[in-house]
Amino acid sequence: MFNLFGLLPWAAPVPGSMLALVFIGILPILLGISMWLQQKLNPAPADPTQQMIFAWMPWIFMFMLGSFASGLVVYWITNNTITFTQQYLIMRSQGYTPDVFGNIKSGFKKTPKDKAKG
């Protein structure tokens, strides 16, 4: 993917090298996005330490599973998608409308402490 599927004259980095961590495929990226969206279905936890851990977890998993077999990553993406859909439908059936986009927007808002910094 990073050499435009063979069109550019360089090869992918050797597996096990530090550069190979950056050169991950599309499936681990989709895994990170699916985990991130699944977390945004629920409001953020009140504890700032938990917020930080939950914010980084999808991206750490994305790089950890970048070298795993593609079938395992496809399974995990499928599981995340099914779980997201199931949780969304259950919440809707119980009379609560999940605000996924509102949770995403609130993650990008600056806190008063951040505004004071600049």
Per-domain residue ranges of the chain: 24-105
Tokens 């496809």 belong to 74
Residue 61 burial (CB count, 10 A): 17
Query: Rounded CA gap, 6 and 13, in Å?
Result: 13
Who has greater pLDDT, 78 or 4? Answer: 78
Query: Rounded CA gap, 115 and 113, in Å?
Result: 5
pLDDT in the model for residue 21: 63
pLDDT in the model for residue 88: 87
pLDDT in the model for residue 75: 93
CB hemisphere CA count around 62 (13 angstroms): 20
At residue 107's C-alpha, the angle toward residues 78 and 89, to 5°, is 40
Q: What is the pLDDT of residues 25-70, one digit of tens each?
A: 788 889 999 998 888 887 778 888 988 888 899 888 888 887 788 8
73 by Cβ neighbours in 10 Å (0-12 / 13-18 / 19+) ranks as buried
Who has greater pLDDT, 22 or 42? Answer: 42
Q: What is the pLDDT of residues 65-105, one digit of tens each?
A: 877 888 898 999 999 999 989 988 988 898 887 777 777 77
